[in-house]
Structures are given as structure tokens and as C-alpha cells.
Structure 1
Amino acid sequence: MSKPANAVLYGFHAVTVRLKTHPESVSEVHIDPSRRDARMRSFVERVREAGVRLIETPDERLTQLAGGPRHQGVVARVQALAPKHSLDDVLDEVEGPPLVLVLDGVTDPHNLGACLRVADGAGAHAVVAPRDRAVGLNATVAKVASGAAETVPYLMVTNLARTLGELKERDIWVVGTSDSAERSIYDIDLNRPVALVLGAEGEGMRQLTAKTCDELVRIPMAGAVESLNVSVAAGVCLYEALRQRR
């Protein structure tokens, strides 16, 4: 069996969560020696407790390792984790009504990272995306997700419409978002097994995806702006589901 490929994580949240959940996968941690604030001191203590090699590295080199300047003085070399589950495995383990976020056509890593962070906060059990029209997990996604890339299964599927059909076979209600829908997200029952489907900004969901949904709903817009960023829309929908479930 081949070894997992090496990868890079950067930023306090992303690296801290990896140290907490899979410390054995962290090969080494690079830190900016000029940072001596309380946050960095606490982080260094956590790295040492995990028994991971700690390397003081100049900011310029950290920027090279991270592929950009937004590393917060923290970069880790890690082994890429194998995919956590299949969607069936995830759903088989769920207690209570499943809550799934489906993203159709989200290709911006910042948007995906923000969606994963929202999904984690709202208690979604998985995020699903098509393999051919979506961004994969990378260091930018992990940084923006603030650790949620390690905790929320992100499952890329070959055929999204078929996967939505499989969710329906599990009696999961598939709800898509559309600006032209008559009912709003606040008008429907989300206290049941639900998959919330959102498209990317601009294009929105593909026609086939929309047709596969059981129902389309809109997010009410009271101002001049016609639509929300996909991660904000995901937050609105997921937290409405959380509110109803509580």
C-alpha cells in the first residue's frame, strides 16, 4: 500500500485541529521566531506536547511553504488523510435526522472553506460536491475552514444527480435554493432528514440538479442586493435547520 501524499497546512486553527485529531500525521511544524505573543506560546506548547518536530523558520520561507502570506506564522508539513467515509458510511452512523449540505459548482477554495466552517458549526453531517465541478481540499480551504476541513466529511461524487437520487431513496428530503422559488427557507419543515443544495454565485445550480430536488426555496432578500455569497447562504439555510431542530 502506498504512503499518503505529503501536504501543507497553515494558520493556527487548521494546524491545531490536525494536532488534536491526527497528531501522528504531522511531520513537522514551522513557526515564525519573531512571534512571541501569548497565542504563539500556547501553540508551541501544544506542538511540543504532541511530540512533533518544531522548526523556527523566517517569514519569507513560511510564505513560500504556504504559497502566500496569510499563514499567521504557522505552517505544518503533514500527511494527507485518506477520505474519511463514503456517503453511505456517514449516513449509516448518523443518530437522528441527517443534515447534508450539497454544493453544485463551488470552485473557489475560500468559499468552500467558509462552507465547511459553517457546516461544522451547524452540525451538518457531510458536505457533498460533484467531482468535475468543484474545488478539492487544499491548504487554502483548510486555512479558511479553521479546522472544519478535518471534522466535516467532504465527499466528491462522480454523478451529483445520481447521488441526490440515492439520498431520496433514504427518505432524505432534497431542498434546493432558487431566487425564483415561491416558498422561502423559513416556510418549510427542516426538522427531518434533509439535504440542502446550493449552487455557486452567478450560475447557481445546474438545471439537472434543480430538477432532481424535491423542492426549491428562496432566501428572502429585503435590500437591493439580489443574492448572497454561497457560504453566507449556506449559513442561513443550515442554521435555520439547526434552529428548527432545537
Structure 2
Amino acid sequence: MIAHRSAGAAEASRPQNGARLIVASFRERNDRKFRPKTGAERPSQGRPGPHKAPHKSAHDKASSDWLWGWHAVEAALANPRREKPRRLLASEDRARQLTERFGQPPALEIADAAQIARALPAGAVHQGVALKIDPLEPLPLDELAEDRSGPLVMLDQLTDPQNVGAIFRSAAAFGARGIILQDRNAPALAGALAKAAVGAVDILPHARVTNLSRALERLADLGWRAVGLDGAAQETLEAVLDERPTVLVLGSEGEGIRRLVSEHCDALARIPMPGGFESLNVSAAAAVALYELSRPRGTGAKG
């Protein structure tokens, strides 16, 4: 039974032919900039269980380590690689669901919708639950590349959180083994991104690397083959794929894959579009490509 208390608180870019773009060009959202963390949260007082949630500062509202939305929070709490929550805000109904699922979650605070919203960036659709937790630690690239049962996905300077989150979701759905991002020019795996991924950031491991070209060289040494998605490519994706473990390389929403990164790809390919409308959002293109990658290869595979 949950106690009820009311709460109180650059490599050169590679241009693409606009008429044949797979990745639609549209305005990217700027990465949200965050202030550094200030220190430990004040411990709760009194008996264990839900306690009051005080008003939060602007720093808290803009923090990159907030997750919100039921699926994102549930997946984070279920992930053994996560640290313990620093704060967990939930409505009474959501707190009941969390307790049924996890027992008494640490740091749980009962809060109404308005109080949860005050802790988050404006417009966050929190579904009655929000979690403040330390970011996930990335895996080393070599460790990520050990599992060859599905493709890897490399993101070349994709910065839109909704698109990156949707790619995580599709990658998990179609059996990818991990995502590779840059240390810089990539959004934090939290907030709106984690909400769009509906828990996939905690299901699918990721690696962060300093230089994507060097990462592709290392993956080649480990037996991986890189295929870049490019709307101006001569060959279709289906034609260039084989049974070798594949790294699918996706370029940014507006610029596509940068030149030096594309030069480290073993093949460049496009998605054929017989409908005559030759433009897809990058996350939609990723979903189509990942579906194609999930299909069996080899003699007789296509029936």
C-alpha cells in the first residue's frame, strides 16, 4: 500500500542531390545546453516511502538526466546497468503501478501532474511519471561489436532528439545490436529523445567515439562491413547487402553523411522509391533500411 502525501515541489560535409534525397532536409533543433550538476540531492527525512517534492530550480528543469514518460521510466528502472534513481516523481496511479512492478522504488515521491511538469522542460509529456537518474555509461566500441547477430547503426552528427529516439526504437524493433554516436554533436540519451525511443535507450546498448572514420576502420578490422545510406547512390540497399555483419551509417538530417565518413564506407546505397516521392525523414529511412537488413540473406532467402 502506497503512503499518500501531497507534494510540495568537423569533417567536410557531403552534399546530396535534393531530388533523390532519402533523408529529408529540415531544420534541426538545437541541442539543449545544460549547466553542470550542483551536488548531491538532499536526503529525504522521516519514514521511508513517498515524500514531498519541493519546488525545483531552473537548473533542475533543464537537466539532461531527466527521463519522462511511462515506457522510458519503466525501462530505465528495469535496466540493471543503471545507477539508483536520484528522484522519481509519480502520480498516485503511476506510483501504484511502479510499486507493483518493482516493489518500493527508491526515491519515490508522490506528485500531481503540475508538480511533475514544473521539474521538467516546458512541454514535456510526462504521462504522470518522471525520473532523475545518472546517464547510461556507453560500452567500449570493441565490446559493442562482439555481438554480430544483428547490424550496428552509426549516426553521423544527427542532433534532432526526436529522430535519434525514433532510430533507437526502430533499431531495437528490427534486431540491431547497438548504436554508435560521436562524443560530441550528438544529443544526450534522455529527455525528449528517451521519450521518443519508448524505452529503447535502455534496451539497446550504445558506444560513443571521438572519430567516426577511425571507428569504421576499427570495425573493419573486427570484420564489420559499413554501408552508408545515400539518396544519390547508384546501387540500392538490397543490392549491396550480403551475409557479413553490417554497420548501417546514417547522415544528418540536412547534410547527409560527411565526405570522410562516406569514404570509409564499403558501399553507399539508396532506398528505391517507386512512388515518385523521393524523400524520407532520416528516422523513416532508418526504419526501412533496418527492415531490409533484418531480412535473411543467401541462396533462396528471398523465395
Cα 1:99–1:50, aligned 2, differ >3 Å: closer, same or farther?
A: farther
Alignment-derived partner of residue 16 in structure 1: 74
RMSD: 2.5
**Is residue 2:192 matched to residue 1:192?**
no
Residues in 1 aligned to 2:84 and 2:76: alpha-carbon distance in whole angstroms: 8
Q: Percent of counterpart pairs with the same letter?
A: 36
Give 3-state SS (helix, strand or coil) of 1:129's partner. strand
Cα 1:40–1:56, aligned 2, differ >3 Å: closer, same or farther?
A: closer
Cα 1:14–1:213, aligned 2, differ >3 Å: closer, same or farther?
A: same
Cα 1:226–1:40, aligned 2, differ >3 Å: closer, same or farther?
A: farther
Structure having the higher Rg? 2
| Counterpart residue identity of residue 78, structure 1 | I
Residues in 2 aligned to 1:131 and 1:154: alpha-carbon distance in whole angstroms: 11
Cα 1:186–1:118, aligned 2, differ >3 Å: closer, same or farther?
A: same
Could you tell me which runs of 5 or more consecutive residues in structure 2 were left unpaired when the two chains were aligned: 1-38, 41-62
Alignment-derived partner of residue 138 in structure 1: 190
Alignment-derived partner of residue 166 in structure 1: 218
Q: Is the 8 A contact 1:9 1:75 kept in 2?
A: yes
Residues in 1 aligned to 2:224 and 2:203: alpha-carbon distance in whole angstroms: 22
**Is residue 2:170 matched to residue 1:115?**
no
| Counterpart residue identity of residue 70, structure 1 | V
Give 3-state SS (helix, strand or coil) of 2:243's partner. coil
- Deviation string, structure 1 residues 110-169 (Cα, Å, up to 9, x no partner): 111111111111121111122233223222211111111112122221111111111111
Alignment-derived partner of residue 101 in structure 1: 153
- Deviation string, structure 1 residues 36-85 (Cα, Å, up to 9, x no partner): 5xx775345225x15434322122221122213311111122233333x1
Residues in 1 aligned to 2:79 and 2:235: alpha-carbon distance in whole angstroms: 41
Residues in 2 aligned to 1:243 and 1:91: alpha-carbon distance in whole angstroms: 20
Q: Is the 8 A contact 2:224 2:245 kept in 1?
A: yes
Q: Is the 8 A contact 1:190 1:244 kept in 2?
A: no
Of 224-233 and 158-167, deviating more is 224-233
Residues in 1 aligned to 2:145 and 2:276: alpha-carbon distance in whole angstroms: 39
| Counterpart residue identity of residue 156, structure 1 | R
Alignment-derived partner of residue 90 in structure 1: 144
Write out aligned runs for 1:34-73 (5 A).
36=93, 41-47=96-102, 49-67=103-121, 68-73=123-128
Residues in 2 aligned to 1:9 and 1:179: alpha-carbon distance in whole angstroms: 34
Q: Is the 8 A contact 2:88 2:130 kept in 1?
A: yes
Which structure's residues are more often strand, by fraction?
A: 1
Residues in 2 aligned to 1:167 and 1:60: alpha-carbon distance in whole angstroms: 47
Equivalent residue in structure 2 for 1:148, among 192, 200, 217: 200
Alignment-derived partner of residue 129 in structure 2: 74
Alignment-derived partner of residue 290 in structure 2: 238
| Counterpart residue identity of residue 172, structure 1 | W
Q: Is the 8 A contact 1:29 1:76 kept in 2?
A: yes
Task: State the TM-score, normalized to the length of structure 1.
Answer: 0.85
Which structure's residues are more often helix, by fraction?
A: 1
| Counterpart residue identity of residue 90, structure 2 | I
Task: State the TM-score, normalized to the length of structure 2.
Answer: 0.70
